[in-house]
Structure 1
Amino acid sequence: MNEPRGPYAPIGVPASPYGPPYPPRQHKTSGLAIAALVLGLVGCLPLALLPAIILGIVALTQTGPGKRPGRGLAIGGLAAAGVWTVGWVALLGNTMADPVHYTASPPSSGCATPSPGYANVCTLKPGECFEQPAVNGTYTSVELTACGGTHSTEVIGTFTAPDGPWPGEEKLKAEALTQCERIMAKNVDRSRLDAVGADAYLSYAGPERVGWERGVRTVHCTIHSPGSQLTGSVLAAGADLSIPTG
């Protein structure tokens, strides 16, 4: 048998007349993964969180082995968005969980300006006299009157209740009893009170719950006569009329 002559290629190894093969195509990093990471990192803006989560989830389906690069970026964006979400939920929970939580504010914000000749818990002053309304429950203002004439109530001093959530009527009443007994012993001339011969007792005027939650903490100690039998002031000479009364 004659042997073939000339150049040949080994069997099973095809000739490559067109040169070396092209390199594999390089995929670009997923733009959605990049966007998810950026939005996740700026999660301090609540509106960016939902888009970051959505884009991150979509980017996970586009990236990974054999797909476009950027899976780590997508995971990072989802993780950052998750951290910011937990932080925002915790913050909102702390500020909204307790609807009774008060916000301290200047006393004037809890009171309306009374009509001329009237006063409320924010405007009453030690030494003033007034007619207490003959009603059961709360009242918003009282009519001022001259202490030299007949009246039902005189303010003998003022104290500021401790700051905090609304204590309830009973606790506020107990605090008022303690403070007002101290102020009465300091400011009231018992001989004047006894000389009046009226049915009078120690009382107080303070904020109700709505006023308290608006920042009102002023409580006025009073001497009150249900039959408006007081005539003249019961205060001692040199009584402490400061607010609060020391």
Structure 2
Amino acid sequence: MNNPLGPGTPIAQPYGFVHPPGPPPHHHKTSGLAIAALVLGLTGCLALPLLPAMIVGVIALTQTGPGKRPGRGLAIGGLAAAGFWAVGWVALLGNTMDDLRHDTAGPQSAGCATPSPGHADACTLKPGECFEQPKVKGTFDSVELTSCGNAHSTEAIGAFAAADGPWPGAEQLRAEAVVQCLRIMAKNVDRPRLEAAGVYADLSYLAPGRESWEHGVRTVFCTIYSPDAQLTASVLTSGADLAIPTG
């Protein structure tokens, strides 16, 4: 596919003459969190482990180093690997989603109007539905639904509710969509099957425009988009989470 998320161990007090004599201190074992950070960081190509790798890596740094548990190098390695994969994902999907961003125009009033038969809009579209997306980039009122078994350009793979508040602007909404849609894609899309079919498709999303936002629309749909309408079956895994919000 082109395109194309525990508390630290208390620090032992230094041995000194004020402490009563006792047996020699035990050597600490390598930090398990440091090992976990390295493993998660190295698997960052899958997207989902990136955030846990960074969190675990930072915690591992606090409990490793001189006078602490061994494993600081592993923690640093895990953070470095996670950072490498994060940059790669952002570079790849950041460009893709910027090129393919489309805004769905939501209701023109506080209530959702019923779209034309066979069409869906920002209020009625559901994850798992396939449709033909207009070729033009920008804002459109609705999309034409189609059977996932027929050739089509787009499938909604999941959705999330954007953070509430005043209109965030297209760039901030895009940044939130990159993170959320990566997570949903890793959870719901059968990537090996899609790649085996040789289909050219990208991760994209449909988001409310400013007017829709001001009327209360907050749902953002993550989609798999094939510009040449090469999709001929659903891209979802068996048992995909189609709830709104997804996951």
Q: Distance in 1 between matches of 2:154 and 2:112?
A: 21
What count of residue pairs does the alignment treat as equivalent?
Answer: 141
Q: Partner letter of residue 121 of structure 1?
A: A
5+ unaligned residues in a row in structure 2: which ranges?
1-106
Q: Distance in 1 between matches of 2:112 and 2:154?
A: 21
Give the match for residue 235 of structure 1: 236
Give the match for residue 211 of structure 2: 210
Please provide the CA RMSD for this pair.
1.7
Give the match for residue 132 of structure 1: 133
| Percent identity for Structure 1 against Structure 2 | 70
Aligned with 1:230: secondary structure?
A: coil
Q: Distance in 2 between matches of 1:153 and 1:202?
A: 10
Q: Distance in 2 between matches of 1:108 and 1:232?
A: 35
Q: Partner letter of residue 160 of structure 1?
A: A
Q: Partner letter of residue 120 of structure 2?
A: A
Aligned with 1:206: secondary structure?
A: strand
Q: TM-score, normalised by structure 1?
A: 0.55
Change (3 A) 1:128 1:107: farther
Q: Partner letter of residue 182 of structure 1?
A: R
Give the match for residue 225 of structure 2: 224
Larger RCO (CA within 8 A; separation ≥ 6): 2
Aligned with 2:178: secondary structure?
A: helix
1:156 CA drift (Å): 0.3
Aligned with 2:208: secondary structure?
A: coil
1:137 CA drift (Å): 1.3
Q: Distance in 1 between matches of 2:152 and 2:161?
A: 25
Q: Which deviations, in whole Å up to 9, do the C-alpha atoms of 1:149-199 show, x marking residues without a partner? A: 100000000100010000111111110110000000000011121123121
Q: Distance in 2 between matches of 1:179 and 1:108?
A: 27
Larger Rg: 1
1:108 CA drift (Å): 8.2
Find out whether 1:195 has 2:183 as its counterpart: no
Q: Which deviations, in whole Å up to 9, do the C-alpha atoms of 1:120-152 show, x marking residues without a partner? A: 111110100000011131111000000011000
Q: TM-score, normalised by structure 2?
A: 0.55
1:109 CA drift (Å): 2.6
Change (3 A) 1:181 1:137: same
Q: Partner letter of residue 233 of structure 2?
A: G
Deviation beyond 2 Å, 4+ runs, structure 1: 106-112
Contact map agreement 1:189 1:234 (CA 8 A) in 2: yes
Q: Partner letter of residue 237 of structure 2?
A: A
Q: Distance in 1 between matches of 2:112 and 2:212?
A: 7
Change (3 A) 1:171 1:151: same
Change (3 A) 1:238 1:108: farther
